[in-house]
Amino acid sequence: MCEPSLNHHHKNNQWSTAIMPLARSLSVTSLSGLEDWDEEFDLEGAVLFEIAWEVANKVGGIYTVIQTKARLTSEEWGENFFLVGPYMENNVRTQVELIEPINPALRRTIDKMNSSGCKVYFGRWLIEGSPYVVLIDVAFTAWSLDRWKTELWESFSIGVPWFDREANDAVLFGFLTAWLLGEFAAQCEEPPHILAHFHEWLAGLGLMLCRQRRLPVATIFTTHATLLGRYLCAGNVDFYNNLSNFNMDKEAGDRQIYHRYCLERAAAHCAHVFTTVSQITAIEAEHLLKRKPDVVTPNGLNVKKFSAMHEFQNLHAHSKSRIQEFIRGHFYGHLDFNLDKSIFLFIAGRYEFSNKGADLFLEALARVNYLLRVNHCDVTIIVFFIMPARTNNFNVETLKGQAVRKQLWDTAQTVKEKFGKKLYESLLVGQLPDVSNMLDKEDFTMMKRAIFATQRQCQPPICTHNMLEDSSDPILNCLRRIGLFNGSSDRVKVIFHPEFLSSTSPLLPMDYEEFVRGCHLGVFPSYYEPWGYTPAECTVMGIPSISTNLSGFGCFMEEHIADPSAYGIYIVDRRYRSVDESCNQLTSFLFQFCQQSRRQRIIQRNRTERLSDLLDWRYLGRYYVSARHMALAKTFPDTYYYQPQDPTSKQGFRYPRPASVPPSPALSRHSSPHHSEAEDDDDERYDEDLEAEKDRLNIRQPFSLPYRNKNALPYASPASNGNSTPSSATSPPSSITSPPSSVSSEKN
Amino acid sequence: MPVTDQAFVTLATNDAYSQGALVVGKCLRRHGTSRQTVVMVTSHVSQGARAALARVFHQVKEVEVLDSSDWARLIMMGRPELGVTLTKLHCWALTEYSKCVFLDADVLVLCNVDELFDRQEFSAAPDPGWPDCFNSGVFVFRPSLQTHNQLLQWARERGSFDGGDQGLLNSFFSGWATEDISKHLPFIYNLSTSAVYTYLPAFQQYGPEAKIVHFLGAIKPWHCKYDRQKEEVYLGDGSTFHRHLYPFMKQWWTEYWQPVAPSFTQTYTWEDPEAQHQKAGSVEVTHKQDSFPHTGKASTPAAPKEMGTHRADTSPGDEAELAAHLRPEVDDLDHKRRWEEGRADYLGKDAFDNIRKKLDTFLE
Whole-number Å distance between alpha carbons of A405 and A615: 40
Report the alpha-carbon distance of residue B173 to residue B92 in Å, rounded.
14
**Are B80 and A142 an interchain contact pair (Cβ–Cβ within 8 Å)?**
yes
Task: Find which of B74, B338, B340 to mutate to test the A interface (most A CBs within 10 Å of its CB).
Answer: B340
> What is the average pLDDT score of chain A?
82
Q: In what order do the strands lie in the sheet with A545-548?
A: A492-497, A380-386, A342-348, A521-523, A545-548, A569-572
| Confidence (pLDDT) at B63 | 83
Neighbours of A566 (CB within 10 A): 24
Chain A residues in contact with B46 (beta carbon < 8 A): 150
B44, B82, B359, best to mutate vs chain A, most A CBs in 10 Å: B359
Are A524 and A533 in contact, with CB atoms under 8 Å apart? no
Closest Cα in chain B, distance from residue A208 (Å): 8
Contact A262 B352 (CB under 8 A): yes
pLDDT beneath 70: ranges in chain A: 1-41, 642-689, 691-748
DSSP A156-198: HS----TT-HHHHHHHHHHHHHHHHHHHHHHH-SSPP-EEEEE
Mind listing the pLDDT tens digit for each residue in B133-147?
Answer: 999 999 999 999 899
DSSP reduced 3-state for A484 = coil
With bands split at pLDDT 50, 70 and 90, how would you rate the model's confidence at B148?
Answer: confident
Report the pLDDT value the prediction gives residue A15, as an integer from 0 to 100.
Answer: 32
Work out the minimum CA distance from B72 to partner chain A, whole angstroms.
9
Residues A273, A222 contacting (CB under 8 angstroms) = no
Global pTM exceeds 0.90: no
DSSP A678-704: GGTT-GGG--HHHHHHHHHHHB-----
B interface test, pick of A249, A251, A263, A265 with most B CB neighbours within 10 Å? A249
- Rounded to a whole number of angstroms, the distance from the CA of A160 to the nearest CA of chain B is 5
Q: How close, in Å, is residue B81 to chain A by CA atoms?
A: 6
Q: What per-residue confidence (pLDDT) applies to A148? A: 92
DSSP B10: E
Residues A414-439: b if buried by 16+ CB within 10 A, e if exposed: ebeeeeeebeeeeeeeeeeeeeeeee
d(CA B214, CA B39): 17
Instruction: Check residue B195 and give its pLDDT.
Output: 82
Q: Are strands A194-199 and A545-548 parallel, antiparallel or unpaired?
A: unpaired
Instruction: Write the DSSP symbol of residue B91.
Output: G
For residues A702 and A724, the answer to whether their CB atoms sit within 8 Å is no
Beta-bridged to residue B108, according to DSSP, are B213
> Cα angle at A44 between A68 and A35, to 5 degrees?
50
* Closest residue to A161, CB basis, from B75, B83, B341: B341
pLDDT in tens, B221-270: 887 777 777 788 877 555 667 788 888 988 998 888 877 655 443 333 33
Distance between CA atoms of residues A272 and A327, nearest Å: 54
Tell me the per-residue pLDDT of B11-61, one tens digit each, with 9 for 90 and over: 998 778 888 999 999 999 999 999 999 999 987 787 878 888 888 999 999
| Separation of alpha carbons A615 and A179, rounded Å | 36
* Residue A698: predicted pLDDT: 66
Measure in Å the smallest separation between the Cα of A180 and chain B Cα atoms. 20
Which residues in chain B are closer than 8 Å to A167, comparing Cβ atoms? Answer: none
pLDDT at A360: 96
**What values do phi and psi take at A296, rounded to 5?**
-100, 125
pLDDT at A712: 36
Q: B15 and A150 in contact by Cβ < 8 A? A: yes
Amino acid sitting at position A131: P
Q: Does A341 touch chain B (CB under 8 A)?
A: no
Type of residue at A400: K
Q: How far out from the chain centre does Cα A8 lie?
A: 31
Cα separation values, B53 from A109, A577, B11, B38, B125, Å: 38, 63, 11, 10, 27
Best CA proximity match to A617, nearest among A320, A269, A303 = A303
Contact flag B71-A249 (C-beta cutoff 8 Å): no
Determine the Cα–Cα distance for residues A445 and A453; give it in Å rounded to an integer: 12
Tens digit of pLDDT for each residue in A16-67? 333 233 222 233 333 323 333 444 567 778 999 999 999 999 888 899 999 9
Percentage of chain A with pLDDT > 90? 59
- B256-267 residues labelled b (16+ CB within 10 A) or e (exposed): bebbbbbbbeee
Question: What is the C-alpha R_g of chain A?
Answer: 29
Q: Where are the alpha helices (DSSP H) in A561-616?
A: 579-594, 598-610
Around Cβ B349, how many Cβ atoms within 10 Å? 10
State residue B184 phi and psi, 5-degree precision.
Answer: -90, 110
Nearest residue of A to residue B235, measured between CA atoms:
A163
d(CA A456, CA B204): 63
| β-pairing verdict for B225-227 and A132-136 | unpaired
Find the length of chain B: 364
By the 8 A CB rule, do B91 and B11 touch? yes
Q: How far apart, in whole angstroms, are the C-alpha atoms of residue A567 and residue A538?
A: 12
Say what the pLDDT of residue A371 is: 96
